[in-house]
A and B are shown apart, each in its own frame.
Chain A
Amino acid sequence: MNLLQSAFDSLLGFALLWLAWRALASPDLFRAIVLFVAFGLLMALAWVRLDAPDIALAEVAIGAGLTGALLLGALARLKPEGVTKPTHEEKEQ
């Protein structure tokens, strides 16, 4: 049992480092963000292993969910480079 836990901890630690490395080195920005979201989910597992369920809840909602949404939203606005004009004609409301 103890051996199994140690194996799981080691695996999780390696997975965290590997995912972080892939997220930071990936040539495609979209893939980098998706890998970062996966990294956030594994961080939540690490928090549970470290007896911190409060942080795990916050990490799942914020680190994986909201940060990913923010990053993807920013990437979508970044894609048409130089095309986005701040003075876009406004629609009727």
Chain B
Amino acid sequence: METTNDLRVMTENKMHIEHPALSLRNLSVAYTKDKPAVKGVTADIKRHSITAIMGPSGCGKSTLLRAINRMHDLYPEIVMQGEIRLNGEDVFNMSTTTLRRKIGMVFQRPNPFPTMSVYANVLAGYQLNGFSLKRSEKDEIVEKSLMDVGLFDEVRDSLNKKGTFLSGGQQQRLCVARALALKPEVILADEPTSALDPLSTARIEDLFTELKKNYTIVLVTHNMAQAARISDNAMFMYLGELVEYDRTKTMFTNPKDPRTEGYLTGKFG
């Protein structure tokens, strides 16, 4: 595995991380030619930890997240520049399908496939990709994934019901299970609790804290308290720039940039 960061100038907002799971170099994303939504972000992301991306609406945090699994490729008008490496491997040299199977994603609103049962939703990554599994393998994956998200006991008797019949919080955990089923290395979560009630939110947060033992989690949130509660490292983005990147504790107690401080103390955002 090659090291990717030694030749580059260390900026003050870049933490030094050994063997990062992900490393972003000078990453820019533009929806229209002259209006970049993400401007030259450089950062390494620590393996088996939760990294939060914070910032006011429109700061480019979701755009940055969606660059990592190349979601932007779905929209031909979006232009990406720079470099992203997953375990040292350039993601732009991988096929999107391979890449996305290694990087799971959880969305703002729970989005189970409405035509599929709970069971089929967990296996969606296999079924939609056309991988055939033996019945026993299927059962095992479904059980393990649902166990991991703490949903198995709740839905044990309704595995054949449509996923859309579950409550919002259950649906979101089902979506996490769907991502886990493919055994990814990284999980990208785009404000996963913004559509959920406080109780369901707490369950998802506990779940992420549990999952970070085995997965690298990148979490976009506009909820500062959430970032403080569960993240290890935190990025603060403003107007498309990565303003500050540090240990969460350090950033919340001792922000270096006045903009970060302004945001954290509620002056804007």
> Is chain B a partner of chain A in the same complex?
no
